[in-house]
Amino acid sequence: MAQAALVSSVVPFMLKTSDNPQGTEPAVFEAMTQRMTEDRAKFFGGFFKEFFGVGSLSPAVSDEMLQWARSVSMQAGLNATLICAKSFATTDFRPDLAAFEVPTLIIHGTADKTVPIDAAGRAAAKGIAGAILIEYEDAPHGLFATHKARLTADLLTLLRK
């Protein structure tokens, strides 16, 4: 049986527009682009602290995890990184939600500052028929690292169904 899982996903639409009031203000994405263009390494140094919820109530990740994430990100060229960020911000998947015809599990952290749960996880759960939303209380975007045991268990439960 086919199944789908959306984990900290940007689906359905990140950008705040008149018909997407829960989205993120365009100025936020413009500032990200500016900071990446000026000093990508510095940008990613701060970005991944928020991505993994460093300093919040969620489990912390190691300095090595932060360094690894920044290192991997720096391997991409600037142009590719900027295009990815633009796609992240502006791709509207709302028309595609009805195409989900398989059991769909949505996992999202309530403290996700990278992809806020209201604009993404909760909105996707409303738009995908029969979707199951599991909210990880106080989890950041990078919950694959901060909540790896729980995430693994939840995904295995889906696969065993």
Do 28 and 127 contact (CB within 8 A), yes or no?
no
Segment 4-56, tens digit of pLDDT: 999 999 999 999 999 999 999 999 999 999 999 999 999 999 999 999 999 86
- Domain 4-160: give its CATH code: 3.40.50.1820
Q: Which of 3-17, 55-69, 107-121 has the least mean pLDDT?
A: 55-69
- The domain limits of the chain are 4-160
Q: Is the pLDDT of residue 1 over 70?
A: no
Given this model, what pLDDT does residue 131 score?
97
Average pLDDT over residues 124-153: 97
How far is residue 121's CA from residue 127's CA, in Å, rounded to a whole number?
Answer: 10
Q: What is the mean pLDDT of residues 148-157?
A: 97
Does the pLDDT at position 60 exceed 90?
no
What is the distance of C-alpha 73 from the center of its chain? 15
CB burial readout 27-62, b (16+ within 10 A) else e:
eebeebbeebeeebeebbeebbbbbbbbebebeebe
Residue 134, helix vs strand vs coil: strand
d(C-alpha 148, C-alpha 16), whole Å:
30
CA distance 11 to 97: 9
Residue entry with tokens 């263009």 = 37
State the average pLDDT over residues 77-92. Answer: 96
Pairing of strands 104-109, 4-7: parallel
What is the structure's pLDDT at 161? 82
Backbone φ and ψ for 8, nearest 5 degrees, come out as 50, 40
pLDDT number for residue 56: 64
Calculate what percentage of the chain has a pLDDT beyond 70. 97
